[in-house]
Amino acid sequence: MPRLTDIWSPARSRKANFSARLPTRLPGISFTARGHAWFRQDLSKSAALPLRTARAAALAGVYEIAKAKTEEFDPEAAFHAEQATAVPLTGWQPLEKSPVEVRATLALDLTGENAAKAERFTESLRGARLNEALARQHIEFLRGVALKDEDTARLWWLHRNLTGESPDTSWTAFTDIVRPLIRIADENDPVTRLARALLTMNDYFQADPDRLNNLADLTAFAAKKVSDDEIARTLATLRQPTKPSQSGTNGAVPADP
């Protein structure tokens, strides 16, 4: 196995000071990095480099290795970014475009203008998160309380509009907008789905009361088919004739004698 030889000083590597700005995940804000880099060359693989060339390659290599880690972190995560850069730089790392190997110890911080930018970013982020949390709580209140059933929803609607800046106490708006959102039970529960269908049918009949006649006839016929004569007779009485009929039944299912 080839032995590494220090070409600049026998049996030891060289050390160089490292100072640079490393990008964060947020464009325009950088970490300030300070520390030391060590470099050496394997003479069995290439000719000896001049000391200045080797130092430049080493510092550029440390920058690229650290940069690949720091740009994954937000500005407020300087500590975590520092630990992430320490992982690949603790041991010797070969460079892709140079025969030099490097290792380094770096300390990361936010200073000056970058610290001010990071503070503004953090405040904006906190405000956005607060707004999201408030919106989430409001939605949960609507889902679990205000729109849990129709009685509660009506009281909530009345209170909301009486105390709001632009009251809209229109119950037509309630019917069109709020009622479809009311959670009677689990959304996939058959009873809930039937209740929603009946509410929709009620609105349909309110728009044109004559439509109730057709429903009464149809439902009475269905009840008759399942041998529930009592319900059939009750439903038959719901039919309100729009004009006198010779038969007196107006098409309703006749009650059993």
Domain-wise residue ranges, the chain: 14-110, 150-236
pLDDT of residue 42: 77
Question: Average pLDDT, stretch 177-194?
Answer: 67
pLDDT at 8: 54
Q: pTM, whole model, 2 decimals?
A: 0.51
Q: Residue 36, Cβ neighbours under 10 Å: how many? A: 13
179 pLDDT band, cuts 50/70/90, is confident
Would you state the CATH architecture of domain 14-110?
2-Layer Sandwich (3.30)
Distance CA 26, CA 238 (A): 69
| Residue position matching structure tokens 């009677």 | 184
Find the mean pLDDT for residues 91-120.
Answer: 89
In the predicted model, is pLDDT for residue 60 greater than 80? yes
- The pLDDT of 154-162, averaged and rounded, is 84
Nearest to 91 by CA among 16, 38, 15: 38
Q: Which two tokens stand for residue 254?
A: 């006749």
Predicted confidence at residue 1, as pLDDT, reads: 41
The token pair at 3 is 């032995």
Region 143-148: what's the mean pLDDT? 86
Residue 142 confidence (pLDDT)? 87
Three-state SS sequence of 92-117 = CEECCCCCEEEEEEEEEECCHHHHHH
pLDDT at 15: 92
